Every structure is written in structure tokens, then in C-alpha cells.
Amino acid sequence: MHEYSIAYDIFATSKRAAVENSATHIKKVCISVGEMTMVNPEQVIFLFETMCEDEDEPLFKDCSIEAKTVPVKTKCSCGYEGSERFVCPDCGSLPEVIEGREIVVTNIEIEVEDE
């Protein structure tokens, strides 16, 4: 179950960013999940939300998470660019996946106290 370690990494990244920016609260975390990650986004969301419920982490009280699916983009040495993952429709070679294999924290909404 690598979804747990992914959810934990998102949690830790969010916490680190909040602390570095003197946040009082993390409102929302946005992530992009590539189609080829072999990860179930619903499980990642569930696990992240479970971590946010920990009463020892007041920064995350009522924090939400939003996941966007990133489609696969490929390119081939013959010039083909598209979404074919396994065989280039133009030349029959294996195209290079250039997008869709990653999980990225794209945005963290935080609250900071006015000074």
C-alpha cells in the first residue's frame, strides 16, 4: 500500500511549507496525479484526510485536499506527440512518456496572522 507513504509525503510537504511561511492554518492542498502512477487518488485523499484529523496537528483542522488527474502525454523520436503509451502510431517504436507519471503538490492554501 504505497498510497499511505504518498499521503504522508503530501502531509509532510504541506506542513513544512506552512511552517516555513509562518502559517496558522492549512486550508487546502491541491495535488496532480498522473494517470500512469498506479495510485488510487481516492485512497490517497482518504489517508491524507485521516492524517489531518489528528488532534496533535492543529494546522490541519478542517483541511481539504483536491486531486486533479493528469493525462498521459508522450513523444516519439519520429516526431509523434500524443497520448499513445505503448506503441507509436506513426513508426511503431516505444514513445517516451513526458507527462502523467508524477504526483505533485501544486498548491497549498494557508492562513497567516496579520502582523
Annotated binding site for Ni(2+): 2
Q: What values do phi and psi take at 87, rounded to 5?
A: -140, 125
Beta strands, E only, the chain: 23-34, 64-70, 73-75, 81-82, 96-99, 103-112
Distance between CA atoms of residues 50 and 69, nearest Å = 21
Annotated binding site for Zn(2+): 76, 78, 88, 91
Annotated binding site: 2, 76, 78, 88, 91
